Chain A
Amino acid sequence: GAVVSQHPSWVICKSGTSVKIECRSLDFQATTMFWYRQFPKQSLMLMATSNEGSKATYEQGVEKDKFLINHASLTLSTLTVTSAHPEDSSFYICSARRASGRGLPFTDTQYFGPGTRLTVL
């Protein structure tokens, strides 16, 4: 299957600092990448959709200025948690959308990165 990497796999930072998380599709080009947040024993919550070369689309309730997303190339999207606070501690997972080749976007599969565990002290 397709490979998506995420870096770092875990990070601990002090309150008030910013943290950048990278998401890369290693063997395919992804015009669309997604950022999710997952709390323990819960499902994934979509934070934003990242489109290459354009602004990200944020879900309702997600602060754009706090979670900065940049999708500068077809293989890289970054999420920066600015001025992190303990309540931002969570598991962040990115995914990259791979075209199925059928010409039908709803058939595209999303491949996920391994996730980044963020702990803010």
Chain B
Amino acid sequence: AQKITQTQPGMFVQEKEAVTLDCTYDTSDQSYGLFWYKQPSSGEMIFLIYQGSYDEQNATEGRYSLNFQKARKSANLVISASQLGDSAMYFCAMRERSPFNKFYFGSGTKLNVKP
């Protein structure tokens, strides 16, 4: 079974609007971490935000927030006030407690911000 599922291969959003990128995960661990990365066309993977399974509050980092719904096993990324520079691939990832703390990536969502 897939550990991380991103069901939106591509998304469009108007500049200055908010957008939500979906991510669901599958784990039987009680302890795990969820991460979002941005990959622009240059190829570099840029860390955006982290949410721990025991964190009670949703993580926020500037214009990025993570809508964490543990019971539904979803960790959606919300980007507020989209900018043209937000156009990129976005990957959701998870690290479980075991085994070996492996890092699992989703298939990614290509976000296009329209002027």
Contacts and interface: CB of A to CB of B under 8 A. Distances in A.
A111 B47 contact: yes
Contact of A49 (B50, B97, B100): B100
A67 to B, nearest CB: 18
A28 B89 CA distance: 27
A43 interface: yes
Interface in A85-121: 91, 93, 95, 104-115, 117
Contacts of A61: none
Contacts of A91: 43
A55 B42 CA distance: 31
B45 A112 contact: yes
A9 to B, nearest CB: 9
Interface residues of B, number: 27
B72 interface: no
Interface of A: 1, 34, 38, 42-44, 46, 49, 57, 91, 93, 95, 104-115, 117
Interface of B: 29, 31-33, 35, 37, 42-47, 50, 52-53, 91, 95-97, 100-103, 105-108
24 contacts: A1-B47, A42-B107, A43-B91, A43-B105, A43-B107, A44-B105, A46-B103, A93-B43, A93-B45, A104-B31, A104-B52, A105-B95, A105-B101, A106-B53, A106-B97, A106-B101, A107-B50, A107-B52, A108-B101, A109-B47, A109-B50, A110-B103, A115-B44, A117-B43
